[in-house]
Amino acid sequence: MNKTELLYEGKAKKIWFTEDSSLLISEFKDDLTAGNGAMKSSEEGKGALNNKISTALFKLLNSKGIPTHFVEMLDDNNMLHKKCDVILIEVIVRNIATGSLSRNLGIEDGKTLPFVLVEFDYKNDELGDPKLNDQHCIILELVNDTSELEYIRYMARRINSILKEFYAKRDLTLVDFKLEFGRDINGNIILIDELSPDNFRLWDSNSGEKMDKDRFRQGLGGLKVAYQEVLDRVLGEGK
């Protein structure tokens, strides 16, 4: 499968048309951004690590009955996937309070939440990705009805349960993460985008060391080393 024309370039990926109108190619970039683009950098090899981690996790979720857009990894930086209409909702799943949740609500950083928190953000950089409630989603016509929002929440919690257990066996704590969903050619809502430390907060279960993009956000360094360690553990057999 070959790239034909560039469809879209985002912060972390380029999306390409292919000879097959139902399939696209995501090219994972080495670029790093944070704060809605306020911080920018690049880390050679980061894109390939994210592609390999995402591939492994999409395969895992597919094996557990989670419908995704994943088809196959073409090479280190390129993934073939189904063409979908993106639902402009960023789905934030939180197991532990940190980041914006702690800053905005004063919840102690590192506190385990009493239940899995699922939040919606509007996928709109110009507006700063504001928080959404169900009524906002309907007014903005991001979904057809509230039953679709409940389905997205249900899927987010299922994915969290699968990945939380998977990571725990590899001495990684799944703190929080961002998911995106889209509609396939049949109108079904499926998981899209990527599943990488760019979108996941992962802490080493023993040392508490941050193994995700917070290493860039907080100027900790060692991002590529951390991502490689995550990949190694993801590809390992676990405990």
Condensed to tens digits (0 to 9), the pLDDT of residues 171-205 reads 999 999 999 999 999 999 999 999 999 999 999 99
99: left (phi over 0), alpha (psi -120 to 50) or beta: left
pTM for the structure as a whole = 0.95
pLDDT at 36: 67
227: left (phi over 0), alpha (psi -120 to 50) or beta: alpha
CA dihedral (204, 207, 211, 212) in degrees, to 10, reads 100
What would the pLDDT profile of 129-144 be if each residue is shown by its tens digit?
Answer: 999 999 999 999 999 9
Q: Return the percentage of the chain with pLDDT > 70, whole number.
A: 99
pLDDT at 106: 96
pLDDT at 33: 86
- Indicate the pLDDT class of residue 34, thresholds 50, 70 and 90: confident
Q: Which residue has the higher pLDDT, 199 or 33?
A: 199
Q: Which of 130-162 are b and which e, b meaning 16 or more Cβ less than 10 Å from the residue's Cβ? A: eebeeeebbeeebbeeeebbeebbebbeebbeb
- Indicate the pLDDT class of residue 112, thresholds 50, 70 and 90: very high
- Indicate the pLDDT class of residue 39, thresholds 50, 70 and 90: confident
Q: Is residue 87 classed as helix, strand or coil in its secondary structure?
A: coil
List domains and CATH numbers for the chain: 3-82 (3.30.200.20), 86-222 (3.30.470.20)
pLDDT at 37: 65
